[in-house]
Amino acid sequence: MFSRYGLKEHKGRKLLSGPGLVAGDIPGMMEGGGKWEARLRTLCLEIIEEHEEEGVYDFYKELGPGNLSNGLCLSYCNNKKEILSLKQKEAESSSEKTEL
């Protein structure tokens, strides 16, 4: 299922490309394979675990089929980035205190 996804460079930026994504319609060469299939599968399973199947379906009804990835997946990834950033700041703060 996820083997049709990968990275595509467009105007100097690397974009995730595949069916249902905006970059999927942009012409260009796609870098696929490697770890992307496992990464996407893991991400989807995390989202389903967090929201459970009924929650994902509620997002689908609310946002519509064309907007599900923009609403659910992007918000999940942005939240994950914020959490990782906070953890990194905490680790840096902790190491600074240890040095003192």
Which tokens belong to 76? Answer: 């999940």
Instruction: State how far Cα 75 lies from the chain centre.
Output: 9
Q: What is the pTM of this model?
A: 0.56
Write down the domain spans for the chain.
Answer: 2-99
**Residues in the chain, overall count:** 100
Q: Which two tokens stand for residue 100?
A: 């003192």
100 has pLDDT over 60:
no
Which stretches of 27-73 are DSSP H helices?
Answer: 36-63, 68
Q: Per residue in 16-73, pLDDT tens?
A: 888 777 788 888 888 877 787 888 888 888 888 888 888 888 888 888 777 776 677 7
d(C-alpha 47, C-alpha 59), whole Å: 12
At 83 the pLDDT is 67
What pairs with residue 6 in β-bridges? 17, 32
pLDDT category, 99, cuts 50, 70, 90? low
